[in-house]
Amino acid sequence: MRAIHISNDKKRDAQVGFEAKSADIKLFFRTADGGRTVNERYLKFTVATSPEALSAKYGDLTEVLVSGDPEIDFEKVGKKLSDLKKVYLAADGKVAHSVTLTEHIFLPDGTEKGTRPVVQSSANIALDNLPLRWTGKLVPKSLALRKFVFTRSYQLHHVNGLTFDFLYDMAKTLAEKKSMMLVGGGEKGTDPVVMFNGGIPYRAFLEGRIDGDKYMLILHLTNLELKELPHA
């Protein structure tokens, strides 16, 4: 079980568990004979037969493609793929062993504002870090769902009776206000939340739901805010 260190509106903190909950998929495709379809990955082309490599080798591909099949490696194309690992390639198609990642920053109208190096962040949710803090900034749920794109959500859960009361009270407070609470790391709660070493810094919002003596406390993460385009 992964643990997260978090505090409440009274600045009392505790270490609780968290996990990602995947939604049950009720829709699926069937084959003509009634069987259930399965997604598979197959090799489409190799580095040597990629469009970029063929263009660099032949220039105009019109005649080359009509007269032959240079884009097909008959020994490899169509091979079933499994246990894939991501690697970065240099301009010459060879594996790059040292990579500097760059983040592109865009304005609301889609114009690129600039670039900056991607900083490898350290996780800040463990017990040896300061607890994630309530900032006091409440956002109505109806507004948050229209303003932010939530890319990840984690359900917080208690590990004993004391943390049950701790989390239940948090969920009850947020449910009654029908709002989400912005939480953050650091001394003042102004730092973004990083769930894993090398992970993406996120703004985090807590959502609470209750049903009698049952509760649900969800940590929603976002790194994308929707903004209205300026009027022409």
CATH of the domain at 144: 2.40.290.10
Residue 164 and residue 220 share a domain: yes
pLDDT average, residue stretch 178-201: 92
Residue 51 and residue 147 share a domain: no
For 78-129, write each residue's pLDDT tens digit. 999 988 888 888 877 788 888 888 888 888 778 898 998 877 788 999 888 8
Residue 89 lies in a domain: no
CA distance 230 to 232: 6
CA distance 1 to 154: 13
Residue 205 and residue 161 share a domain: yes
For 131-163, write each residue's pLDDT tens digit. 999 999 999 999 999 999 999 999 999 999 999
Residue 11 and residue 60 share a domain: no
Cα Rg for the chain, rounded, in angstroms?
A: 24
Report yes or no: 177 and 121 within 8 Å, Cβ to Cβ.
no
Write down the pLDDT at residue 231: 63
pLDDT band at 25 (very low <50, low <70, confident <90, very high): low
Which residues fall within 8 angstroms of residue 91, CB to CB, at 6 or more apart?
none
Is the pLDDT at 206 greater than 70, yes or no? yes
Write down the pLDDT at residue 23: 66
Residue 56 and residue 128 share a domain: no
Residue 137 lies in a domain: yes
| Assigned token pair, 59 | 């220039």
Residue 196 lies in a domain: yes
Q: What is the DSSP letter of 83?
A: S
Is the pLDDT at 232 greater than 60, yes or no? no
Which residues fall within 8 angstroms of residue 219, CB to CB, at 6 or more apart?
4, 18, 153, 154, 155, 156, 183, 193, 204, 205, 206
Q: What is the pTM of this model?
A: 0.70
Q: How many domains does the chain have?
A: 2
Q: Give the structural domain span for 56.
A: 44-77
